[in-house]
Amino acid sequence: MTKIRTLIVDDEPHAMEIIRRYATHIPEIEIIGTCNNAIEAFQTIQYQAIDLLFLDIKMPKLLGTDLVRSLKSPPMIIFTTAYQEYAVEGFDLNAIDYLLKPIPLKRFLQAIDKVMHFLHGEKATELAQEEIQHTQDHFLYLRVERRLIKVNTRDILWIESIKDYIMVVTKEKTYQTKQKISVTEKLLPQGEFMRIHRSYIVPLNRVEGYHPNHLLVDGNKIPIGRNYKQACAEKFDPKGTY
């Protein structure tokens, strides 16, 4: 069994001990050390291979978030803090999870489950997005090359499904991730996007023109599926027929 080499960084000994104790329930987790400040952690990470970092945010000398920014290739991050207001910033830094102190064992185990999903290429994106949906309605988090990428939903031109993958197309870039389009549909802001085909979702404010067989989006013809024609006609055609 491959161990997940884990470092705990916290200036509170009691909080550090709780994480260490919880970790004894997880055979895959190997605690290779602890640090009581971010500067010490930075030095440790330079000389030891770390897979997972349990990281407090509000610490003396250097914030945990600033530590992550200073790392060229940060490991997986689980933030641990008593301050909920850092949650958005934490996920902006592609954290796997964000645990509020005091940390219940059940919540700790959920975070480890996300780590396992992430390592096995599963739906870390969906799990993380659900955590912050209430604070960031206009952002979609996508798992791209083992990282969580934040995409502003206002920049999306359309979303296309190809087998088990989706492509999120923006003017600047196209993001590809392994995720079902039905999952993505649930994560988008309600009332701003529409499924028009089994393989396509479009933002309503990007639609430039309507034809019974397609919508015009940023100069591109996006096909309308047979089962979606009536809904599209009612939405985009004043007559409501196709």
User: Domain 154-236's class?
Assistant: mainly beta
pLDDT in the model for residue 154: 92
- Asked whether the whole model's pTM tops 0.75, one would answer no
- Is residue 241 pLDDT above 70, yes or no? no
What digits encode the pLDDT tens for the residues 81-127? 888 877 777 767 888 889 999 999 999 999 998 888 887 654 444 55
Q: What pLDDT was estimated at residue 134?
A: 47
Domain ranges (residues) in the chain = 4-120, 154-236
Confidence grade of residue 149 (pLDDT, cut at 50, 70, 90): confident
pLDDT single digits (tens) 167-218 = 999 999 999 988 889 988 988 888 999 999 999 999 999 999 999 999 999 9
Choose the weakest-confidence range: 50-54, 73-77, 114-118, 189-193: 114-118
Q: At what angle do helices 105-119 and 124-132 cross, to 10 degrees?
A: 140
DSSP H or E segment with residue 33: strand 29-35
Mean pLDDT of the chain: 87
3-state secondary structure of 123: coil
The predicted structure's pLDDT at residue 221? 97
CA distances from 118 to 77, 124, 186 (A): 11, 5, 20
Rounded to whole angstroms, the Cα distance separating 50 from 181 reads 34
DSSP 3-state percent helix, strand, coil across the chain (nearest 5): 35, 35, 30
Residue 2 scores a pLDDT above 80? no
Q: Do domains 4-120 and 154-236 have the same CATH topology?
A: no
Kindly tell me if the per-residue pLDDT of 53 is higher than 50. Answer: yes
- CATH of the domain spanning 4-120: 3.40.50.2300
> Cβ(182)–Cβ(125) under 8 Å?
no
pLDDT given for residue 73 in this prediction: 84
